[in-house]
Structure formats: C-alpha cells, structure tokens
Amino acid sequence: MMRILFIGDIYGEPGRRILMDNLDQLKSDYKPNIIIVNAENSANNGRGITQRFYKELMAAGVHCVTMGNHVWGQNDLVEYIDDSHIVRPLNFPKAPGKGYDIIKYNQQTVLVINALGRTFMNANLESPFFEIDKVLESEKADFTFVDFHAEATSEKVALGHYLDGRVDAVVGTHTHIPTADNRVLPKGTLYITDVGMTGPLDGIIGVDRDIVVNRFLYGYSPANVVANTKNQLNAVIMDLKKKTIERIHIED
C-alpha cells in the first residue's frame, strides 16, 4: 500500500490558512501514507517559503516540500535547505540543496523529484528530461514521484509519456489552474497536467484581480498583491499500487 496526498501550489497566507484548516480532515478522509506539498508561493508575497512555515508543515505531518521557479524568493532558504526535506528544482545547473529526496514509510521508500520546465520559462536550465534520467539511474526506491513545475501543457504531457512506466506518478504544478486529465498513462504512470493552487479562488492565479486585469489593459500595474477572496484547496490523492489518481477540490 502506498497512498500519496499531493497538495498544489500554496499561495500566500490564504493558501497557508486553508491548508492548515483542512489538513487533519484530509488525513482522516483519504488516509495518505505520504503527504507532499508544493510551497514555492507560500510566503506572504507569493515568493518562496519561510522557515517558520516549513517547520509548521513538518509539525503538521507533511513529509516533503517541493518548489519551483520562485524557490529562492526568501533569501534565508539557502541557510537551511541542505538539512531539510525541501526539494528544489533538479535542473538548476548549480544551486544549494537537492533536486530529489527519499522519504521512508515503514519498510518502503519514495523517491520525490522536482523539476522545472524550460518552455516559456528559463532556457538556461538543464534539460528536465535528461536530469531526471540521471537520478533514476543513480537512485533506487520502491516508488518514484515527480512534481514537474512547468508553463507549457505540451511539455508536461511530453515528460509524462517520456517517464511512463519508469516512475509511478508525474504531477504538474505552476499554472495554478487544475486540469481534468488525471489518468493512468499507457504504461502505468499516474498523471495530471496541473493539480491547481491552494489559495485565493477569485484572484488571478493568486494575485489581486484588478492588478492583473490592468496589466493586460495598460501594460503596467503595481507590484503583485495576494488576492483577498474566498479560498480554495486543490490536491490529488494517488494510490500507487492500485493505480488510481483522484482530484480534490475544497472551497471556504
């Protein structure tokens, strides 16, 4: 048995609050063995993670934290990432921390990998495809889970098929909009293009909607402010042995 609860991009204080308000109920309802969250937007300004919140996650029973393009949004992360269960994107050429972690549950191990897409993002990154290959060659575990933090849906689907049958799950993050394509790929890998975000429901991908609308209208707006609206939580529960992946959506 291996059930993984993965919670999509936590955005700002609203995301932290709805997660903590619902985590115990999620544990009770879905009985996960491992809990993983993406927290690259969890700081108050939506950039990075604070050490305080990381400790809150660990105390609440989270096993591993994945990140993304805003991994270094809080400068002090470099001071403790090496001793943490925070997994930064694997395909930075050289960076503190690690791009994967191995989580133990009873007598089983789960290899957790985080990687960044390159399309419409950062062409200076190493290839996520080849970098994941290297980890799969060097590290052995009973199960392998990949959080692919990418902009282009085509790049996410491509990585899913590239890894199909070689890893147990590939989930997409970053675009903050949940997709309805949760499925089992032809060779048995669980897949979804984007889990969605955990935070403001009626902002625009977490940001105050007026700021973003004005940016589209006039090409300029003030700095991003986290939206103050009702909140949402988006997640997936996966059974890696039974080959099931189910979407979870909660609103305030």
Would you name the residues annotated as active-site residues? Answer: 70
Q: Which of 142, 146, 168, 143 is nearest to 155 (CA)?
A: 146
Please return the burial class of 8, using the count of CB atoms within 10 Å of its CB with bins 0-12, 13-18 and 19+: buried
Give the CB-side neighbour count of residue 207, counting CA atoms within 13 A: 15
DSSP state of 222: P
CA distance 128 to 90: 7
- Spatial neighbors of 167 by CB under 8 A, at least 6 apart, are 113, 136, 144, 145, 146, 189
The helix (run of H) or strand (run of E) holding residue 245 is: strand 244-251
HSE-up of residue 223 (Cα within 13 Å, Cβ side): 3
